[in-house]
Structure 1
Amino acid sequence: MFLMGKLKRDPNSVELANKIIEQYQPKSVEDMQEALKDIFGPMFESMLKGEMNHHLGYESNDKGEKESSNRRNGYGKKSVRTTAGEVEIAVPRDRDGSFEPQLIPKRKRDVSAIEDKVISMYARGMSQRDISSTIEEIYGFSVSHEMVSEITDSVLPDLAEWQSRPLNNCYPFVFVDCLYTTIRNDYEVKKYAVYTILGYTMEGKKEILGLWLNETESKHKWMQIFDELKLRGVEDIFFVSMDGVSGLEEGARAIFPDVTVQRCIVHLIRNSIKYVPSKDYKPFTAALKKVYGAPSLKACHSAFEAFEKQWSTYPGAVDVWKRNFSHVEQLFDYGSNIRKIMYTTNAVESIHSSFRKVTKKGAFPHENALLKILFLRIKELEKKWEGGHIQHWAMVMNQMLVHAHLKKRVKKYLE
């Protein structure tokens, strides 16, 4: 067992702590906080007096005061928020009003760094009411809903900058999906589509390229989005993985003609089991896995023939795969590591799963309210992704170099 020695403390700090305990006789953490509040006031006032001395060029009662045109002019009362609660302080004033305190600037009443705490709670999906209650419970002062909104609005300039930032010239893999949420618009609650695009960089890093809102999904909206990506610097995309969104494939190819569009296999499975009784889910999906998970295209065709015969009693389910079989076949044009990435939109769906944790509280009052909470969530996700990269990325890059239509493009953007 490892025994840690006694921590070494600054003797001056120990002496100060003993004096505080001796004077206040605290019996609880709350008593200690009250003692700190009493100490904060004189500390603030002493430092503000020092700032005033520096501003005027002489100390209080110094002979320089009589010779100066600007003098002290009493004190003004001010209540400031600290991490220990509200503290009343006396702020020195000068006659000509030129004193600008740096410690607690004019009109500033919060020195608790509460803004960061509010933004952090908002990013985790807490409502304005819950944030206000939590702040009051922990710090002893109330924060209005309006103040919470003002604090969180401070991220809007960062959001605007992020939305229009330049992007990389190439993303080998891009995943697109839509999340639906509700916004109150002119007293009417409407469903809105949140368009999210996730890209994998040439270095194998994840990057959310942007967020877009629209009342519906449409071909024209997707074209606008891909056109915006191009204007922000994206020259090439090798693969786009998507669900069956109307107009997405045409919209992507209209802007990036050489892109390979892949239907998400997981979405096809979900679409097909709608026609299958629950008792047959397990054997049905097991038979499907032999199709899209086959070791070769020949084995895939054999497995699909067997699948059609075995499940012919559910023609609706089989027809989903017949109509989209070209998307299964094209998987086998590439190596297993590429297939493992492109066959599903799970990467972007996991982002939407994270979004749902902060959007489930109900309808948002306006678009900015929704966008800022999603932007803060993205910042949280980016912290988790720092330093990481896509699994087996080196093998993915090697497999892309095997294909003539990819080799030149890969080398172009690696140089």
Structure 2
Amino acid sequence: MAILTKEQIRELIKERNMKTTEDVSSMLRDLFGEAIQEIMEAELDTPLGYTKNENSAKTGANRRNGHSKKTVISEYGDTEIQVPRDRDGEHEPIIIKKHQKNLTGIEEQVIALYRKGMTVRDIQDHLNRLYGVEISPTLISNVTNKLMPLIKEWQNRPLEKTYAVVFLDAIYYKVRQEGAIVNKASYMVIGIDLDGRKDVLGMWIGEHETAKFWLVVLNELRNRGVQDILVCCVDNLRGFTEAIAACFPVKSSLS
């Protein structure tokens, strides 16, 4: 594995013609669409009192009545979703209201649900902020129950054995925590496999960007199947090089 300087990173991007992040955006769009779909299903579960796979739990007269296609607009591009319907037509969706097409502004909050370090309580609080209105604990619980398996599956999915290039970086953003505004570090790992396909390997939340936390991230990548990284692109954070070498021993280096 080689560790590149910023100049070498820029040259690599130029050589590989990586002018856009469409591949990464596509992955994020898929995650966004899946999460929105499950949230909408949970919204209908709440008034009906049963999920679409629990026919024996039906108690009221109203029933599910299939789905209707709808294309919504987000920062990741157009996303097609299946809007669940009820027989009586009484259900009023909350996350995507009837006739609403533009979802710009909620993408980051939905994708944030996939980040590491969020407890069930964190997700419940995040959903409250996402909706922006006071909603029932039952709805929050239903949405959380639907999203948790989806999130866990994505977070723990097996990875490729070898990646040609892996970009590791963190960005800071401000969040409200216990009544105060604090900074959080969002760790992002993007990999390019040997076929040139880009993928977001994971997202994590930390208090500050540290080499110690990156060591935890790198060990997780290894535990999920990564055996070798040919080129690792990072900033010059103190201790970062040593953390990488501890998980993926350097076989060669570039000056």
Alignment TM-score, normalising by the size of structure 1: 0.31
Name the structure with the higher strand share: 2
Name the structure with the higher helix share: 1
Alignment TM-score, normalising by the size of structure 2: 0.49
Greater C-alpha radius of gyration: 1
